[in-house]
Structure 1
């Protein structure tokens, strides 16, 4: 009887550990050019990709380009250029509608309402929260970048999205 209970406990722990591997989570505090926190991004690893939820406040109403960048560094005094280029950047392949793309760092725009609140949810199978080729939690980290303008999803190199207005370093939860 005790052996059966121990076996069940071991099996339950193993199943939980297996489930946790598919449910890795990460998040990012999004800051503006003054270094003030203006939002949050949450990421959850699924069996076939990453579910992303982003919410921001205080941005200009309208569409804003949103991308995943290759370095976990959000220095406002650099205009967030410290985040470097897109995750998995491929010259000439930027854009969700690009026949040569998309790049793994390409995401749909975030829409900000007249009240200054923006929110979006997206799923991507091109990145992960593990050690794969485009893992967001790799040695040099990754960031979310929000741009001043909409991304047209095809123009090179960033879809006409303009300057970087917000940044968030992605960290494991």
Structure 2
């Protein structure tokens, strides 16, 4: 079984970001590293794992809703949350993201694993309150998570 997975981000038809999302198994958690560009300088973006590994539709609606096998409410990392809820991405002054964080209790493989699902970067920041999406706006980039 692989201890790593990756997703290559493609921009939405209306424009968006490109880059890579890397997942490394670390004990009971996953280390996530996002390297992406094409953002407005200083902007913040909601970032989630979505249920279906399908980025085929122009607006990425084909990826479905947030990955939520435990039927939890949408929320921040330190509360009950969807398995696919991740921290906001923060772009630097050049519109680039190079961000690492730990996704607690996440797995790569199996029924509750992330491999085969999609990562979505949203146009707006996640407020971590609004159900079920965090009010993070349109989907601006999508990538299917594949074992590596």
Residue 37 (structure 1) shift: 7.3
Q: Is the 8 A contact 1:24 1:129 kept in 2?
A: yes
With a CA cutoff of 8 Å and minimum separation of 6, indicate the structure with the bigger relative contact order. 2
**3-state secondary structure, aligned to 1:130:** coil
Helix, strand or coil at the partner of 2:86? coil
Consecutive unaligned residues of structure 1, counting only runs of 5 or more, are 1-20
Higher strand fraction (1 or 2):
2
| Contact kept? 2:66, 2:133, Cα under 8 Å | no
TM-score normalised by L of structure 2: 0.88
Q: Verify the 8 A CA contact 2:17 2:38 in the aligned structure 1.
A: no
Higher-Rg structure is 1
Among 33, 51, 54, the alignment partner of 1:73 is 54
CA 1:95–1:36 in 2, change beyond 3 Å: closer, same or farther? Answer: closer
Is the 2:39–2:91 Cα contact (8 Å) retained in structure 1? yes
Distance 1:146 1:117, change over 3 A: same
Q: Which structure dedicates a bigger proportion of its chain to helix?
A: 1
The answer to whether the Cα contact below 8 Å between 1:72 and 1:83 also exists between their aligned partners in 2 is yes
Runs of 4+ in 1 over 3 A off after TM superposition: 34-37, 89-92
Q: TM-score, normalised by structure 1?
A: 0.76
Gaps of 5+ in 2: none
